[in-house]
């Protein structure tokens, strides 16, 4: 009996011959000694009858990471369903093929490559630069690990046709990813359909017909000078130069083990703010993320060291970036909160920054054709701000690839801590420029004897009180999500809790000029809103709840009742 037959004796952990062949082919072209050793060990164990190894091989080679509008993102390791140098090489060659076929540039298309501090980010970026150059492109590698917003800026700065950022943002420590931006008329925005499918088709061809080890490579790529970083710093420091409220101002910053600190520190000094007290254990890049289980400021426990540092320093504000610094978290003192500090929600930060942008546009007479935009699951409070100031408003599908394309955009946000405050500099979420804008709001309020909490209360008094909540239902069988969505479409609820449903928008049919999507939006008679959609990255069904009241207490009561009604509806469908 062969080793293959021994593995196939257990039907539940069979490794088919074609998957074994795929693994051997992968091994032959993998330039990374670490993943070669990993795969050899798995193959040996699987052929010896190890069921866990067989299951791992099945998971790694029965499919491949799909390239889409978010590029690639997944767990590091050997195999077509992991992030590794073979997959990245195929992606780079496929992207190069697409750019050569579609670029309208005179001469060779230009692509800029950036990377953060995650494991293997530098290797993936270097491989990409060599393959782009080998394909005849002008490839520019950023000078060192840098925040994602610097790469988005660099695409415009160099007039590039495209950009690649190697990052998995705030994903778990063992993940990495490959984000693609388009230049020229797209202004340095992330890719959208149909370009994602066109690039994916090129990658698929490369994976099927080429051997990564024989792809043309060249060392004739350029390494950008520090001038591109200086240009980003110069532009971002002008977002909110310090002029008042800074004397004695103490604040705390954490980079969450990412790459934000060096760039932000220079901008803070340039803009005139006092240097923060940093969370020492988290300020330097470290791809193992030793102090957090999940390097996302929204996750429970991720901000604990920042709270501890702020209490010791007697700080007035905490600013946090995620590991690639494209997101921003903010926390304020709150005596009623456990530990004396409270993180603001993404909607609260977005509404304050949107209000700031609207006031600035009104003050300069620049409201004609100007717009505010947010994802459709973010707070409807931004629409109230736009209406108050006579600005246009756009609700988009989730993701900054859509928000950044809103006509006349002066500010955009999504509730997941993403903010675009300086669209003439970066056409993507930017946690560094957003941090500078928040410092400006905090010190301006401080000069008047107020705090960010006072600004939130003033917002409620001016525009009405908005409250938001989320419900996430994780499932073991993803078909459960499709079944629930189908049931909601076949028998729409007449009420959610005690409040009647006034209107239902099914985005599969296309609504408000939005591209079709698997999203249901319920408008209730009291002005509340419930949005239901499958998660794009996890086996979850997500519900976004929004309510409005004449006071904060009324809005909070409505959102609590709405949440109870939504959970009861889900229980009835499950």
- pLDDT (tens digit, 0 to 9) for every residue of the chain, 574 residues total? 333 333 334 434 567 888 899 999 999 999 999 999 999 999 999 999 999 999 999 999 999 999 988 899 999 999 999 999 999 999 999 999 999 999 887 889 999 999 999 999 999 999 999 999 999 999 999 999 999 999 999 999 999 999 999 999 999 999 999 999 999 889 899 999 899 999 999 999 999 999 999 999 999 999 999 999 999 999 999 999 999 999 999 999 999 999 999 999 999 999 999 999 999 999 999 999 999 989 999 999 999 999 999 999 999 999 999 999 999 999 999 999 989 999 999 999 999 999 999 999 999 999 999 999 999 999 999 999 999 999 999 999 889 999 999 999 999 999 999 999 999 999 999 999 999 999 999 999 999 999 999 999 999 999 999 999 999 988 888 899 999 999 999 999 999 999 999 999 999 987 777 878 899 999 999 999 999 999 876 788 999 999 999 999 999 999 999 999 999 999 998 7
* DSSP annotation string for 438-482: HHHHHHHHHHTT--HHHHHHHHHHHH-EEEEEEEEEE-SSTHHHH
Cβ atoms 514, 406 nearer than 8 A: no
Return the pLDDT at 124.
98
- Residues 506-528 as b/e (b if ≥16 CB within 10 A, e otherwise) read bbeeeeeebeebebbbbebeeeb
Distance, in Å, from the CA atom of 239 to the CA atom of 460, rounded to the nearest integer, reads: 25
- 524 forms beta bridges with 501
Cβ atoms 544, 481 nearer than 8 A: no
Residues 239 and 215 in one domain: no
Cβ atoms 79, 26 nearer than 8 A: yes
Residues 231 and 248 in one domain: yes
Residue 360: give the domain boundaries. Answer: 226-462
Residues 189 and 258 in one domain: no
The CA radius of gyration of the chain, in Å to the nearest whole number, is 25
Q: What is the CATH number of the domain that holds 214?
A: 3.40.120.10
Residues 456 and 475 in one domain: no
pTM for the full model? 0.94
| DSSP tag of 154 | H
Cβ atoms 569, 496 nearer than 8 A: yes
Question: Which of 62, 86, 102 marks a domain boundary?
Answer: 62
| DSSP tag of 13 | G
Residues 385 and 437 in one domain: yes
Q: How many domains does the chain have?
A: 4
Residue 433: which of 187, 147, 195 has the closest Cα? Answer: 147
Residues 12 and 28 in one domain: yes
- 223 forms beta bridges with 141
**Interior CA angle at 73 toward 373 and 104, to 5°?**
65
Return the pLDDT at 96.
98
- Alpha carbon separation from 354 to 94, 348, 391, 491 (Å, rounded): 39, 10, 11, 37
Distance, in Å, from the CA atom of 400 to the CA atom of 181, rounded to the nearest integer, reads: 11
User: Annotated catalytic sites, by residue?
Assistant: 169
Cβ–Cβ contacts within 10 Å for residue 317, how many?
23
Distance, in Å, from the CA atom of 522 to the CA atom of 247, rounded to the nearest integer, reads: 48
Q: What is the largest CA-CA distance in the chain?
A: 83
Distance, in Å, from the CA atom of 349 to the CA atom of 268, rounded to the nearest integer, reads: 19
Question: Which of 166, 194, 225 marks a domain boundary?
Answer: 225
Q: How far is CA 201 from the centre of its chain?
A: 24
Cβ atoms 443, 356 nearer than 8 A: no
Could you give the strand order of the β-sheet that contains 529-534, starting from the edge strand earlier in sequence?
465-474, 540-549, 529-534, 520-524, 499-506, 495-496
Q: What is the CATH number of the domain that holds 514?
A: 3.30.310.50
- Alpha carbon separation from 113 to 27, 128, 198, 547 (Å, rounded): 26, 8, 20, 42
Residues 346 and 276 in one domain: yes
Distance, in Å, from the CA atom of 189 to the CA atom of 114, rounded to the nearest integer, reads: 15
Residues 346 and 492 in one domain: no
Q: What are the percentages of helix, strand and coil residues in the chain, rounded to 5?
A: 45, 20, 35
- 454 forms beta bridges with none
Residues 454 and 529 in one domain: no
What tokens appear for 317 in the block? 């504000």
Return the pLDDT at 7.
38
Question: Which of 193, 225, 257 marks a domain boundary?
Answer: 225
Q: Give 517-557 as a 3 state SS string.
A: CCCEEEEECCCCEEEEEECCCCCEEEEEEEEEECCHHHHHH
Residues 177 and 300 in one domain: no
Q: How far is CA 268 from the centre of its chain?
A: 24
Find all residues with CB under 8 Å of 353, minimum gap 6, and list them.
411, 413, 419, 421, 434, 437, 438, 441
Residues 215 and 256 in one domain: no
Residues 31 and 114 in one domain: no
């Amino acid at each position: 009996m062969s080793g293959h037959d021994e593995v196939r004796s257990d039907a539940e952990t069979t490794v088919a011959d074609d998957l074994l062949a795929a693994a051997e082919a992968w091994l032959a072209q993998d330039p990374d000694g670490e993943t070669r050793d990993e795969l050899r060990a798995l193959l040996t164990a699987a052929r010896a009858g190890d069921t866990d190894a067989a299951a791992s091989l099945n998971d790694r080679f029965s499919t491949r990471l799909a390239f889409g509008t978010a590029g690639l993102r997944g767990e590091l390791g050997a195999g077509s369903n992991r992030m590794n140098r073979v997959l990245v090489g195929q992606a780079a060659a496929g992207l190069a093929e697409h750019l050569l076929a579609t670029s309208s540039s005179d001469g060779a298309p230009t692509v800029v490559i950036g990377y953060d501090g995650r494991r293997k980010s530098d290797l993936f970026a270097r491989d990409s630069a060599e393959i782009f150059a080998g394909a005849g492109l002008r490839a520019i590698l950023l000078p060192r690990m840098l925040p994602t917003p610097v790469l988005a800026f660099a695409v415009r700065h160099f007039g590039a046709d495209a950009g690649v950022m190697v990052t998995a943002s705030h994903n778990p420590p063992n993940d990495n990813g490959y984000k693609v931006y388009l230049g020229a008329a797209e202004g340095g925005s992330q890719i959208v359909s149909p370009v994602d499918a066109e690039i994916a088709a090129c990658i698929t061809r490369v994976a099927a017909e080429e051997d990564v080890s024989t792809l043309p490579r060249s060392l004739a790529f350029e390494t950008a000078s520090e001038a591109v970083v200086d240009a980003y710093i110069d532009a971002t420091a002008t977002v909110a130069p310090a002029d008042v409220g800074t004397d004695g101002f103490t604040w705390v910053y954490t980079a969450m083990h990412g790459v934000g600190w060096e760039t932000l520190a220079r901008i803070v000094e340039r803009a005139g703010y006092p240097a923060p007290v940093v969370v020492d254990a988290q300020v330097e890049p470290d791809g193992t993320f030793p102090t957090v289980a999940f390097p996302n400021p929204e996750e429970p426990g991720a901000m604990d060291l920042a709270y501890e540092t702020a209490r010791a320093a007697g700080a007035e504000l905490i600013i946090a970036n995620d590991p690639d610094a494209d997101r921003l978290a903010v926390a304020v003192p709150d005596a009623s909160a456990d530990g004396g500090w409270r993180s603001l929600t993404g909607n609260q930060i977005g509404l304050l920054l949107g209000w700031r942008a609207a006031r600035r546009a009104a003050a300069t007479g620049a409201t004609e054709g100007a717009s505010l935009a947010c994802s459709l699951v973010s707070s409807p409070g931004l629409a109230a701000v736009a209406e108050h100031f006579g600005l246009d408003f756009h609700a988009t599908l989730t993701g900054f690839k859509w928000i950044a394309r809103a006509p006349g955009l002066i500010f955009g946000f999504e509730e997941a801590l993403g903010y675009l405050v300086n669209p003439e500099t970066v056409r993507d979420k930017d946690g560094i420029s957003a941090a500078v804008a928040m410092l400006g709001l905090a010190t301006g309020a401080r000069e008047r004897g107020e705090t960010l909490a006072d600004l939130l209360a003033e917002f409620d008094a001016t525009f009405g009180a908005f409250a938001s909540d989320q419900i996430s239902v994780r499932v073991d069988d993803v078909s459960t999500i499709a079944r629930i969505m189908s049931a909601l479409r076949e028998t729409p609820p007449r009420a959610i809790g005690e409040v009647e449903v006034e209107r239902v928008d099914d985005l599969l049919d296309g609504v408000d000029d939005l591209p079709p999507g698997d999203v249901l939006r319920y408008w209730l008679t009291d002005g509340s809103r419930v949005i239901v959609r499958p998660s794009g990255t996890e086996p979850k069904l997500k519900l976004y709840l929004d309510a409005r009241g004449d006071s904060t207490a009324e809005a909070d009561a409505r959102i609590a009742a709405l949440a109870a009604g939504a959970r009861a509806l889900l229980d009835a469908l499950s």
